[in-house]
Amino acid sequence: MNDRANSAFSERDGAAQLAAVRSLLSARAALLGLEGADEEARIEALLDREVAVPEPTDEECRRFYENHPELFTAGELVAVRHILFAVVPGTPVDALARTAEKALADVRANPDRFADVARQFSNCPSGQHGGNLGQLQRGETVPEFEEAVFGADSTGVLPRLVNTRYGFHVICVDERIAGHRVPFEAVRDQVAANLAERVRAKALVQYVRILAAEAGVDALPLAAVSSPLLQ
């Protein structure tokens, strides 16, 4: 099954989980007699009342900041080339993966051939320019691609294919330009909001678990229980 089919199943399952969770929350809000203009407002009122989220302390915020330097680095750049083997409906994925692996082995053994192989095989418009994507910063690509190019300190052709929603990528990092650490004081509010959201998500999962048990719902999937479900 290709990535697009998997995505369709994932979206359908997520919608079912969302509906089940919202049904529990709406029933609880009705039981408590909470008022609101619509279901969203009543659920928000319920969570404000029953899901307590303590404010993170300065010590907790600073510890998170120190333990995740990559989240608070500005100006970091990588010069990247890639060869995209796109997965589209009807693509024989296994055969495409084998072709991508052969291309990876080729350019790993002969890095000077990267541009030629990109022009020959890449399904990205950048292929006509040797696969050149220019300089990228965090947040400009999909998470899997970003993790691959920013998750190491080395340069050259990456040793493994990178699989994203678009297909298989052979990636070469030509240059890394180090960024600078943003001072804690400048991101303290951002860190606090991040930590509060994490705590809120955990508290919400526990709260829904309790509601499910009280309602006699034993098999409620909770993977989608997080604050975005309220949006």
Q: Is 53 left (phi over 0), alpha (psi -120 to 50) or beta?
A: beta
CATH assignment of the domain containing 102? 3.10.50.40
90 and 161 together in one domain: yes
- Closest-CA residue to 179 (of 76, 71, 70): 76
Q: Are 31 and 219 in contact (CB under 8 A)?
A: no
98 and 159 together in one domain: yes
pTM (two decimals): 0.55
Please say whether the dihedral angle defined by the alpha carbons of residues 64, 66, 68 and 69, taken in this order, is positive or negative: positive
Structural domain including 131 reads 76-178
- Closest-CA residue to 131 (of 87, 88, 174): 174
95 and 132 together in one domain: yes
* End residue of a domain, out of 178, 197, 219: 178
Read off the DSSP letter of residue 155. Answer: -
128 and 191 together in one domain: no
Report d(CA 121, CA 131) in Å as an integer.
10
Q: Residue 110 in 3-state DSSP?
A: coil
133 and 174 together in one domain: yes
pLDDT tens digit at each of 231 positions of the chain: 444 444 433 444 445 567 777 888 888 888 888 887 788 888 888 888 888 778 899 999 999 999 988 788 787 899 999 999 999 888 899 999 999 999 999 999 999 999 999 999 999 999 999 999 999 988 899 999 999 999 888 899 999 999 999 999 999 999 999 888 889 999 999 999 989 888 888 888 888 888 888 877 655 555 444 433 444
Helix then strand then coil, in percent of the chain rounded to 5, is: 55, 15, 30
Report d(CA 108, CA 50) in Å as an integer.
56
pLDDT given for residue 25 in this prediction: 87
- Please tell me the number of Cα atoms within 13 Å of 113 on its side-chain side: 13
65 and 16 together in one domain: yes
Report d(CA 5, CA 89) in Å as an integer.
8
59 and 122 together in one domain: no
98 and 42 together in one domain: no
Report d(CA 105, CA 151) in Å as an integer.
21
First CA to last CA across the chain, in angstroms?
31
61 and 91 together in one domain: no
The secondary element (H helix, E strand) that includes residue 56 is none
Domain count, the chain: 2
Count of C-beta atoms within a 10 Å radius of residue 91: 15
pLDDT given for residue 215 in this prediction: 75
Q: Are 7 and 165 in contact (CB under 8 A)?
A: yes
- Closest-CA residue to 131 (of 115, 120, 145, 143): 115
